[in-house]
Structure 1
């Protein structure tokens, strides 16, 4: 792969200048979960700005959302409320990916089509430009569809992704793995791509890797261990672990939340893997009936210089994702 020599996408554990965070703003999307989801995001913002040692840039849409954010977080040191325009809060996917270029940080922006045409909302295709502009980073627009949650980085040019998402014909029709690798090399400095197959069951993102497997070291990837055959993702976890081992990657295992369902008993893609690696903390989502205490214990030796914090994410999950999905780091 021919990646630009001076282009590098940092690993998430490298230093951040700020952490962008989406604030639930659309009452017609969130319905009765709007208020509780806003409270969960506000709790996350406080931890990011506190033990997380982040400058939080909270993106809000509309005057009602701005007023609610001010009521919950106004005066909290380290939290900047940024009015903007977006369809929903999934900044990992709609925002830019920050990269190191020859003259400093740059923002890589991509086409966004609502996760394969499922949820196309006004404003989501403008998020990358808004964030890059506020950050003062040059924006490089790329002509292919990519969501940030579909790729994970080790900081040395190795990218982790799934075929289910990146080669899905509802994104870049007809893409081959070679074409995808060339695009990732040009935009993000990829030198190697490690391909997994499928993501979590019922994940509307078509298998984002940030719910399945995450780099925790340059050649170490964390993968959940299923709770047994009753875990809806047991076989998916095992296939991911086997594929990584076949590529010479050190595989570390961690707990899975197991079977998590909504009020209609439909399996939802709940994952402890949707944690955030902040400057001073690692923040892990947990769910009703699936506390993340064992996950926190698994993360402690991997990030000994960071505080491990568990926070509820039940209401955010009703929107389809969790903490990693609603954040994007701005690199230092």
Structure 2
């Protein structure tokens, strides 16, 4: 039984629904359900009553919930104590990145680390926003660079830059103009994320509002897979401009309306432990803003902070 399991239990009890709690946490409902079942098996008591309207706590579940809240409070107090006692030396930092942001940020962050924090090791992990939320919850990340979403709100999100999605196509295919109205996307076979992704849900919402029936040829949650299908001329993708490989792709900014996403920095609820880590995160924050600003100036993409 890990800390994430206790955190998941609290959220399910608060939401009264596995599906709502999964959306808030940014994890799949199946993973959340499995976590609750594992906890019930380990404690050998039913924690929730299940019904068609959601879930409610059993009498044993109410006792377990109080214990979960006590564990969360103890961990929070422990983190605060460790933060107060820690010195300024930091030997390791773990940064979580979206696949699209990893392409733009991995080298600048590693360069910054070597220049300003010699002897410090950085671990970079990639994942979707849902994965990054889970890892922040588990305490596996010191810093995450991800999209703003409902699930990320409790992790002290600090907006860095807003950007518009582009329609990406194979470089040697029919030429796209610099911009394309959203309604014209219906003419293109798209490779797009599954509905578990906040970006996909936003795209579907806009399509419904505009009365546009999108041609979803393939669903793929991997940016690598999307890029390969686009580069191979097998489909068109909706991706950030900074994820477009200019050697193999071309792109057009989607407008009327635009599909805007906001990149933010997120940290664990307990905050960074120690002055050294806080200083490092502050430096990384400045570096990340500078990288996006430079990209915007070079690409003329209209990225804004």
TM class by shorter chain equals under 0.3
* TM-score for both structures, normalised by structure 1: 0.21
